[in-house]
Structure 1
Amino acid sequence: MKAQQIVTLTINPSLDKSTHFTGFIAEQKIRCEKPRYDAGGGGINVSKAISKLGGKSTCVCTSGGSSGEMLEDLIAKEKLDSIVIKTKNWTRENFIAFENKTKAQYRFGFPGNEFSEDEKDKILQTIKELKTDYLVISGSLNEGVATDFYQKIAKIAKDSSIKVIVDTSGEALKKVLETGVYLIKPNIGELAKLIGVGHLELPEVEKAAKKLIDNKSAEIVVVSLGADGAILVTKKETHLVKAPKVEKKSTVGAGDSMVGGMVWALSQNKTLKEVIQIGVCCGTAATMNEGTQLFKAEDVVKLLEEIEK
């Protein structure tokens, strides 16, 4: 298999459909504008973000049915290297709608269809054959997939000395932490659950993250603080970066953009301070655009100049 410095994995991708409409009245027909289609799902978005920064990655994803074929076409139009694992069940679709008057955004996410045992084995075998420095495991699990599935993938990758970056939540994230990975990106609420508390205030985040590091759950913990930015914590370093103030149009793909920016920066041997700065600026830049188109590279450059002043 062709070696690539960064590989992203999306086992539960989505065909994202977004549109605009005016007026939201129950039981009445709502007229929508022409839809936009994008290839979606955590790892796919991370690969798109890396590409926007001038980097390269291999995008590993599943694909099934007509929606999967459309997903593959969209990935090809983005000029992303890809490894596609075919499935019998169709790739899911997601729907995002923007109300023109209120500027409100409505996001409808659907579960991914089940895999056969053979399809799950194909995913694991694909990971065993990888030659890469970084593996980004991102997004939700499909219906019927055991919560330790990402943990199995992380073990395979670690056995090949691959640095594993995980962006998921719930039981799937807890299981991965039992194995220990290179980097995780929980939000502040998820971090609280991981250490068994109901709530965390900002001054408590560093100590909470270091609990996970001391337990060898992760080497780097990046905690997303939403509009307040993010904090990166390792055993020896802590960097808090506040998000630049921008006009927010959509939050779709902001977290994936942040991960993409960080893993690209890591692959470029940037300092950890630069890694979190670039990640925050990519995530913030993504909120400046509507739909699921992520960010513009020129916006990232401007935001970096702003926070470095």
Structure 2
Amino acid sequence: MHDILTITLNPALDMNTEAEKVIPDVKLRCTEPMVDPGGGGINVARAINHMGGNASAIVAIGGHNGNRLLELLMAEGIATMPIPSPGETRASVVVNCKTTGQQYRFMLPGPPWRDEHVQKAIQTTAAHTPKDGLVIFSGSQPPGVPLDFEESLSEAIRGAGARLIVDTSGAALRQIVEDHKSPPFLLRADDEEAEGLAGQKLETPADTAAFACSLIEQGVAENIIFARGAEGSVLTTPEGSWLATAAKVKVVSKVGAGDSYVGGLTLSLARGSTIQEAARWGAAAASAAVTTVATELCRGEDVERLLPECKLIQL
């Protein structure tokens, strides 16, 4: 069993509530919010915990929201290594409209970082990277964090022989694609990000696989996973491409599906599975996550129940 470490630079105090209707220019009376610790790496660690595994979490903490987030993580039994964050840890709000069933997601920006905070994050990661383990860098980056932070992270964990999994988006993702000095073991992104990078629609899983293959040939990453929504996710390695299909389930909330995918995949890898089998576990975890409300993520029993429905199709 390989140890797992997650890194979250821009965590959030996630609040989930409901309103009868979501309309402009009036006061909307909402239900008592559910409050959870959130942010990419945090959610990955929580998902792993829900599936019976263990992951340590490096988390940037600031202000009252940061202290509350830390309390919630401790209550869930997540081993947390806090690092100082400037200002106040951000909040995010999800409002579910009872009338239409639609979900509105409001993500606030994090506080701007200075170089001293960036260096502290790198030093803390280097000090706690598990030997031959798995390190997950997931979620958005706060303002002020260099776009090439992943390069510094790769260098920091190199001596421990750990494998780096990166799940990012926007300018940070484009930086990895356009200036890849230290390709991570695995790069994951969603379908919209993939099409943005490709500059065209990727109509089929085969189109996604062909694009991912071109990135691997360029040295962007050793392995790549691009999500394709309800279809599942396409895994591409130097040996080929596979579609890990999603289970057919009723979607309650899409919040945390991608993080649950990374959690399922990483836990499977940590237990010694091939990357292809790990992709199937990721698909089952994502399928389980969309059946839960708010930010509950996946449940271990649901992941195991849905796993037989998630097939691996070679492309």
Q: Specify if TM > 0.5.
A: yes
Corresponding residue of 1:268? 271
Alpha-carbon distance between aligned partners in 2 of 1:43 and 1:302, rounded to the nearest angstrom: 25
Alpha-carbon distance between aligned partners in 2 of 1:292 and 1:73, rounded to the nearest angstrom: 17
The reply on whether 1:231 has 2:234 as its aligned counterpart is yes
Corresponding residue of 1:135? 135
SS at match of 1:69: helix
Q: Structure 2 matches for 1:50-129, cutoff 5 A?
A: 50-129=48-127
Contact 1:151 1:172 in 2 (8 A): no
SS at match of 1:111: coil
SS at match of 1:33: coil
| RMSD of aligned Cα (Å) | 1.7
Aligned length: 305
Contact 1:154 1:176 in 2 (8 A): no
CA shift for structure 1 position 220: 1.3
The reply on whether 1:210 has 2:213 as its aligned counterpart is yes
Amino acid in the other structure paired with 1:231? V
Of 105-114 and 175-184, more deviation after overlay is shown by 175-184
- Structure 2 residue runs without a partner (length 5+): none
Contact 1:158 1:164 in 2 (8 A): no
Q: Structure 2 matches for 1:1-309, cutoff 5 A?
A: 5-132=3-130, 133-177=133-177, 178=180, 179-194=182-197, 196-202=198-204, 203-307=206-310
- Structure 1 residue runs without a partner (length 5+): none
Amino acid in the other structure paired with 1:110? L
CA shift for structure 1 position 308: 5.8
Alpha-carbon distance between aligned partners in 1 of 2:17 and 2:295, rounded to the nearest angstrom: 10
1:107-139: CA deviations, max 9, x gaps? 000111012322222111112213311110000
When residues 308 and 218 of structure 1 are mapped into structure 2, their CA distance, relative to the original with a 3 A threshold, is closer
Contact 1:20 1:32 in 2 (8 A): yes
Amino acid in the other structure paired with 1:103? G
Identity %: 33
Alpha-carbon distance between aligned partners in 2 of 1:152 and 1:260, rounded to the nearest angstrom: 23
Normalised to the residue count of structure 1, the TM-score between the two structures is 0.94
Alpha-carbon distance between aligned partners in 2 of 1:114 and 1:173, rounded to the nearest angstrom: 19
When residues 87 and 273 of structure 1 are mapped into structure 2, their CA distance, relative to the original with a 3 A threshold, is closer
Alpha-carbon distance between aligned partners in 1 of 2:151 and 2:129, rounded to the nearest angstrom: 19
